Structure 1
Amino acid sequence: MTQTDSVVLEQVILHKVGNPTRGEELKLSVNPLTLNDEIVRGLLTRYFLSPFNEHEQYQFTHISSLDLNEVYQYVNGIFDDPKSFVSQSALLASFLYQKSTHARVKEGELYVTRFSNVPFGTEYIDAIGLFKSETKETFLKVFPHGQSWEVIAEDGVNINKLDKGCLIFKKNREEGYVVCVVDNTNKQDTQYWVSDFLQVTRSANSYHHTNDALGMCKLFISNELNEKFDVNKSDQIDYLNRSLEYFSTKESFHLNEFAEEVLHHPEVIDSFTQYKQQYEVARQVNIEDGFDIHLAAVKKQQRIFKSVLKLDKNFHIYIHGRKDLIEKGYDEMSGKHYYKIYFDEES
């Protein structure tokens, strides 16, 4: 989230949450932080909010009933009665402590916050934040000592690296609110923050549809296409460029149209259709055959759509289009492959 100048950090309370399987304790604070220093208040606001992508939206859920989702109920309590902030934050910390039993879960600080005037589309609304810092880094502190200076080492939290976070907008309460999530630690080992504690699921919106479809296309072209068909690296880059161009220039995605305009060949289209089904099962996502394209998701994926042809350690060729102007061959005299590139002028 980039636009945070308007945001007011109303309250923050900090609880220490350990891992009960290692005998670590749950230590609850009695009072919120004082936050008399405006610089500290501003740093905390940036630390809490800057990692979020407001387009990646989730919602609270539960296998039986939304009302049985604990975090959802505690958040309801804060929204309904801000005076219950301290007591509800203690319930949130206690519930997180119960869910922190995985061997890789680290002890850390849970921050529960109240925000007002948070930008959401064209509105400014209230929000509640849950943040956990687990990773400590060593910093050097320089201080005066008489007529000289001394240096000591201290452990602290890097305000540029949020470990885990959840931002709940006061919007769509009956559907489980609009929720944004950050989880930058233990992604491959445990989903205790997202699945066990928050119990959220991704919202079925155009951002997620676009992001999933582009991710699938990239993996198909980079991996599957090379395994099943005789394509060289420049062919793959051409497919990637055409895929990205489709999503960048169209307002909506249509599976059959995409297949005809980007993939062309019937056998490649058949392979792509089969791969889509496998991808959906493996990733537990559902990629619709048609949806509105979200440009923010295209911009995000654009960073990983590499159009660079790397030749040994000597040359990098950036290919942005016109594959018909690139010719690949093999020179028997030198025993090396080559590319011949045609162009009109040099700049």
Structure 2
Amino acid sequence: MFYHTDATIEQLAIHRVGNKQNDEFYVLSESPFVLEDELLATLLMHYFLSPFAKLNEVYRLFHSSETLALNEIYHFCKSFFEGELDFQAFGQQIGKHLFEASNHPNIKGGELYVVQLRDVQLEGEVHDAIGIFKSETKEPFLKVSPAQGMFHLGYEQEAININKLDKGCLIINTESDQGYKVLVVDQTNRQQEAVYWKDDFLGVRVRNDGFNKTGNFLKVYKQFVNEGLDDAFELERTDKIDLLNRSMDYFKEHETFKKQEFEEEVLGNPKAATLFDSYRQQFETDYESPFGEQFDISSGAVKKAQATYKSVLKLDKNFHIYVHGKREYIEKGYDDEKGMNYYKVYFKEEH
């Protein structure tokens, strides 16, 4: 989890970056912004950092060649953190790089904020960090103020809503040899061209730790059960729910995922295990995120995934049956007289 209660802004630089495809330019400030107003500092902290509070995914800076130094953001941040580049020069380099990455005509120009932060907390540890934020969307705001026994009404035609950060990232000064810990926000990533923030500008990929392995594995397994088994097995909906429930039980009851153990306890069928192995390997190849033979199970990722593991039988518009128990306690049949399907459910007590 990310916390910024005790964080402070050490230095702040504001630049303007346009879209080179639209013949716009960048304007780089010549000196940092002097932040003396405490209320303004509080508002900026809210604007910059509050969107990161509920994020779970942690990224790494990387380069496709596997040579980290070729990632521009990594190179600039490492130089700044190690004292080889001063803050103003660092912010200007970030601005120039963002300008070069803004190579799609639909990318909006906007203000770029480069911030040096102290005492941000991520995963229980306190670190310094660099924040890079971009505002692209402007909104009109009304201003009401008292004036000589009445009220004056004014407006700002293009103001920034401090509750709507468009794009941002936090580069935490730790584990530099692995590409740092990076948090990313992209609230306007609705079109294909918007991926430039993560891909072209930052160059990040999800950290393949226990949290992400647990979440990704449960997603892949759920998709496999719902779609990947149909060609090889004739399964009723109750059978699929049972397979999903057994996988969730496994992840709740174990601290470490073990491939062979999971296949025996959950799938319980060599043919199904082989099919799932191929299904899983395709995900590992496509997303460059190997699971390995075992990994630490993240209870947070299990809790998050559980919300999407719907063990519900939806029967016309009359009934929803939530299935949490054993498969053998529910039977499906067909009533010839009524010409309808039915389920028979066994239980000991009614609550």
Structure 1, residues 306-337: CA drift from partner, whole Å, max 9, x if none? 22322333433222232322222223333332
- Give the superposition deviation at 1:282: 3.2
**Other-structure match for 1:307:** 311
1:71 aligned partner: 73
Cα distance 1:32–1:312, how it changes in 2: closer, same or farther (>3 A)?
farther
Identity of aligned residues (%): 43
Partner of 1:90: 92
Q: Distance in 2 between matches of 1:213 and 1:92?
A: 36
* Counterpart Cα distance in 2 of 1:82 and 1:42: 30
**Structure 1 residues without counterparts, runs of 5 or longer:** none
Which of residues 210, 218, 224 in structure 1 aligns to 2:214?
A: 210
Distance 1:72 1:96 in 2: 13
After TM superposition, the structure 1 = structure 2 runs for residues 108-123 of structure 1, keeping only pairs within 5 Å, are: 108-123=110-125
Deviation of the 1:116 alpha carbon: 0.5
Which residue in 1 is equivalent to 2:323? 319
Query: Bigger CA drift: 218-227 or 258-267?
Result: 218-227
Match among 183, 188, 194 for residue 198 of structure 2? 194
Matched position secondary structure for 1:50 = helix
In the other structure, the counterpart of 2:4 is 4
C-alpha distance in structure 1 between counterparts of 2:141 and 2:164, whole Å? 14
CA contact (8 A) 1:78 1:84 kept: yes
Q: What TM-score does the superposition give when structure 2 sets the normalisation length?
A: 0.86
- 2:329 maps to amino acid: L
| Cα deviations by residue, 1:112-156 (Å, 9 ceiling, x for unpaired) | 111111113443211111122334456565555763675868554
C-alpha deviation, 1:283, in angstroms: 3.3
Q: Displacement of 1:100 after TM fit?
A: 0.5
What does residue 150 of structure 2 align with?
Answer: 147
SS of structure 2 residue aligned to 1:112: strand
- Partner of 2:278 in structure 1? 274
Pairwise CA RMSD? 2.9
Return 28-37 or 274-283, whichever deviates more.
28-37
**For the Cα contact (< 8 Å) 1:20–1:97, is it kept in 2?**
yes
- Give the letter for the 1:48 counterpart: F
2:253 & 2:282 partners in 1: Cα distance? 27
Which residues of structure 2 form unaligned runs of 5+?
none
Structure-2 residue corresponding to 1:20: 20
* Residue of structure 2 equivalent to 1:340: 344
Separation of aligned partners in 1, 2:238 and 2:160: 45
Q: How many residue pairs are counted as aligned between the two chains?
A: 347
SS across alignment from 2:116: strand
Residue 131 of structure 1 contacts residue 164 of structure 1 at CA under 8 Å; is this kept in 2?
yes
Deviation at 1:73, TM superposition (A): 2.4
Relative to 1, partners in 2 of residues 1:319 and 1:124: Cα closer, same or farther, differing over 3 Å? same
Match of 1:258 among 250, 257, 262: 262
Structure 2: distance between partners of 1:138 and 1:218: 45
Query: Structure 1: how far apart are the matches of 2:316 and 2:155?
Result: 47
Residue aligned with 2:192, SS: coil
Name the residue aligned to 1:185: 188
* CA 283–176 in structure 1, closer or farther in 2 if over 3 Å, else same: closer
Deviation readout 1:263-313 (Å, 9 max, x if unpaired): 112222222122112222333432212111122222232232222322333
AA aligned opposite 1:172: E
Distance 1:296 1:82 in 2: 39
Paired residue type of 2:306: Q
1:75 and 1:291, CA in 2 relative to 1: closer, same or farther beyond 3 A?
Answer: same
Report the Cα distance in structure 2 between the residues aligned to 1:136 and 1:20, rounded to whole angstroms.
20
SS of the residue 1:270 aligns to: helix
Letter in 1 for 2:3: Q
For residues 277 and 192 of structure 1, what CA distance do their matches in structure 2 show? 28
Greater shift, 55-64 or 67-76, is seen at 55-64
- After superposition, the C-alpha distances for 1:228-277 in whole angstroms (9 at most, x for unaligned) are 42222222222222112211221111111111111112222222122112
Q: Is the 8 A contact 1:237 1:307 kept in 2?
A: yes
134-143 or 267-276, larger mean C-alpha shift: 134-143
Change (3 A) 1:144 1:24: farther
SS of 2:41's equivalent in the other structure is: helix
1:192-238 Cα deviation digits (max 9, x unpaired): 22222122333342222222212211111122124542222222222
